[in-house]
Amino acid sequence: MKTLDQKALTIDNGWLDNATICCSSHYNQRPLVDDISLLVIHNISLPPGQFGGGYINDLFLGRLDCQADPFFAQLEGLRVSAHCMISRAGIITQYVSFEDRAWHAGISTYNGRANCNDFSIGIELEGTDTTLYTSAQYEALARVTKVLCRHYRRLTPQTIVGHSDIAPGRKTDPGDAFDWSHYGAMLE
């Protein structure tokens, strides 16, 4: 298992070098790898509002004990993943190769195109809509974003959206606590 440090990130065969890798089975093949053209920012905490504990990993790896917390009952049978998750400490875990389709966006549309999972990369931030994100998370997110934009040339700062932008009315993340201006300045 590799752990992220502060050296420059690179991508090899769809995987971040120097990141924690936990391979999820919740993915399938993209229709076109050359079509990666959208980055979607999400948030997640399990149980809601609680951080740490490993439940996010368990969800993305298909091994969440749905008896461990009353909230988890509604997640029974859910098959979901993200390409990466960034913890409150800024640790990046990758679950699905960027060249495969993670199951993060659900019913979604971007610029008239449905099924955003087909052409997007999904990054989860450990957090909530109303909890400020950490400096370590912004730093890690900016580092990952920069390497993604270098590697997948159709990704640009203009093709980065929140989950709420592609599923309005259904999703609200990354929420009001996410500082888009701060994040954008880090990409310059």
Mean pLDDT for the stretch of residues 106-116: 98
**Enzyme catalytic residues:** 124
CA-CA distance, 12 to 156, in Å (whole number)?
A: 20
Average pLDDT of the residues in 154-164:
97
> What pLDDT score does 6 carry?
53
According to the model, what pLDDT value does residue 69 have?
97
Q: What is the mean pLDDT of residues 85-112?
A: 98
| 179 token code pair | 């500082």
Given a cut of 70, whether residue 4 has pLDDT beyond it is no
Q: What domains are there in the chain, each with its CATH number?
A: 11-186 (3.40.80.10)
- The mean pLDDT value of the chain amounts to 95
Task: Please tell me the predicted confidence (pLDDT) of residue 5.
Answer: 45
**pLDDT bracket for residue 1 (50, 70, 90):** very low
> Does this model's pTM top 0.85?
yes
3-state helix, strand, coil in the chain (%, to 5): 25, 20, 55
| 139 token code pair | 């730093």
* pLDDT confidence bin for 18, thresholds 50/70/90: confident
Backbone CA torsion sign across 93, 13, 123, 23: negative
What is residue 35's predicted lDDT score, i.e. its pLDDT? 96
Q: Which residue type occupies 166?
A: I
Residues 90 and 125: their CA atoms lie apart, in Å, by 9
Q: Range with the lowest mean pLDDT among 2-6, 57-61, 161-165?
A: 2-6
